[in-house]
Chains A and B, each alone.
Chain A
Amino acid sequence: MTDRALAVVRAGALTTVQDRGRPGHAHLGVPRSGALDGPAAALANRLAGNPPDAAVLETTLDGCALRPRSTAVMAVTGAPCPVTVDGRPAAWGAPVRVRAGSVLDVGAAAPGVRAYVAVSGGIAVEPVLGSRSTDLLSGLGPAPLTDGAVLPLGAVRGLPARVDVAPQPAPPDELVLRVTPGPRDDWFTPEAVRVLTSRAYRVSPASNRIGLRTTGPALERARPDELPSEGMVLGAVQVPPDGRPVVFLADHPTTGGYPVIAVVRPADLPAAAQAAPGTPVRFVAVRRR
């Protein structure tokens, strides 16, 4: 019997299990969750020979170190980072064969924020409402990894991809977020919409899986009254009382009471997952298709 499990040698600052999330439960107050950089997670799975909905690990800034208990194919994608196996350099963005007991180390992201680690067979923790994703807002799914934890792996179903290195977009030097205005742009001064789409913002260090927070000019409200709670979508640009826009990411609350001035195109959100604190952010108004 092989021991299909993965030992966590170094958990890193914040490493979570992620798959494609649990959409469809927003009416119960359940966030969608799932990998913030979906294309990078899907690529890691493809490289490791997994189906696209297999669960992977999402690291934050400083990577993690993992020891499979049986020989596994692993793949690291997303933020560029040094990858080693037992201290020897290994490929990033390509399948890596890791023998039982060897340690694959995912180094610090440079640049970018989140690396994705797929393991052949996928991380096989018990699903909650159809997903293995850790939801940091509501606490659903497995807890973030800790040093010494052991994660079960699923049965290997496919062959690793035959590539040397798969091409991946570089983390953005400047994060450009295309937005369509509304639904609550009329709660702001006309000047506020101009400020949002013309002035310079930066990614705030307070950003997390719930939202990309920004620093920059405050957006002024035209209406001081309280907005009754309403449903929120992925990519909503919500403006809390401090006036600094927050872009909702996968673990966002399903309802909220601060007005949404605009919504980011979903295609631009994977780049937002890789924008490190301090990265310049530009919101660009686009017409609805």
Chain B
Amino acid sequence: MRVLPVGEDALLVEVSSGDEAQALHAELLRLRAQGSLRVGEIVPAARTVLLDGLSDPARLAAELTARPLPPVPPSAPGTVEIPVRYDGPDLADVAAHWGVPAREVARIHAGTGFRVAFCGFAPGFGYLTGLPPRYDVPRRPTPRTAVPAGSVALAGPYTGVYPRSSPGGWQLIGTTDLVLWDPARVPAALLSPGTRVRFVPVAATEPAA
């Protein structure tokens, strides 16, 4: 673990894997919940957790480096199920990368238990991990100028669902009608770091729910 100072009142804690980052994030949330960590923002990412709005970052840095990294936490209660029509325009390309027939992509993807590693890019956009490394895929060589809201997509080790239409370079494998982000709802984001996720295939011919 490496603890890097960020400006005057933040720390970036760097670990060696995504699993470690998720474990560290869960531990920091636990410390905050029990009142022993006062912090403005806890922002997990691929290999780091950012702690912003600290009153004494130097002291916390010393405490964190002295503390052994906690084990990977038990799963958070509940799983968000995302119904998906596996009808994305990049399904064939993904199947080719994976070396499987196109219909196998849906079976493999829907058979995987995912976890939200972190959020970013847009409000409510989660970077989901869970697929084995052999299913990593590159981004599209040319990003699309508009990816429709609800697109289920892959890039690198991650699966994501576009909460709204935006430009994007991820490989589109399917579509969901689930609203992932609604600022008028509590909670606004269905996916937050640590959330367990499963994709449930629905027939492409079914009308939208």
Binding site for B on A (CB under 8 A): 23-30, 128-129, 138-140, 180, 182-184, 228-233, 235-236, 253-255, 260, 263-266, 288-289
Contacts and interface: CB of A to CB of B under 8 A. Distances in A.
B40 A24 contact: yes
6 contacts: A24-B40, A28-B123, A139-B164, A183-B6, A183-B12, A260-B6
A138 B122 contact: yes
Given A27-B43, A230-B47, 7 more contacts: A26-B52, A28-B188, A183-B4, A233-B7, A255-B43, A255-B119, A265-B8
A233 B183 contact: no
A266 B44 CA distance: 22
B43 A26 contact: yes
Interface of B: 4-8, 10, 12, 40-50, 52-53, 118-125, 127, 164, 183, 188-189, 192-193
B188 to A, nearest CB: 6
Given A180-B5, A230-B50, A254 B43 contact: yes
A114 to B, nearest CB: 23
Contacts of B122: 29, 138
Nearest to B194: A27
Nearest to A129: B183
Contacts of B40: 23-24
B48 A231 contact: yes
Contact of A263 (B6, B46, B124, B193): B6
A contacts with B: majority SS: loop
Nearest to B53: A23
A236 B40 CA distance: 16
A23 B53 CA distance: 10
B12 to A, nearest CB: 5
A24 B119 CA distance: 13
A253 B45 CA distance: 13
A229 B122 CA distance: 13
A28 to B, nearest CB: 5
Contacts of A25: 123
Contact of B188 (A129, A230, A289): A129
A88 B78 CA distance: 64
A228 B125 contact: no
Contacts of A264: 7
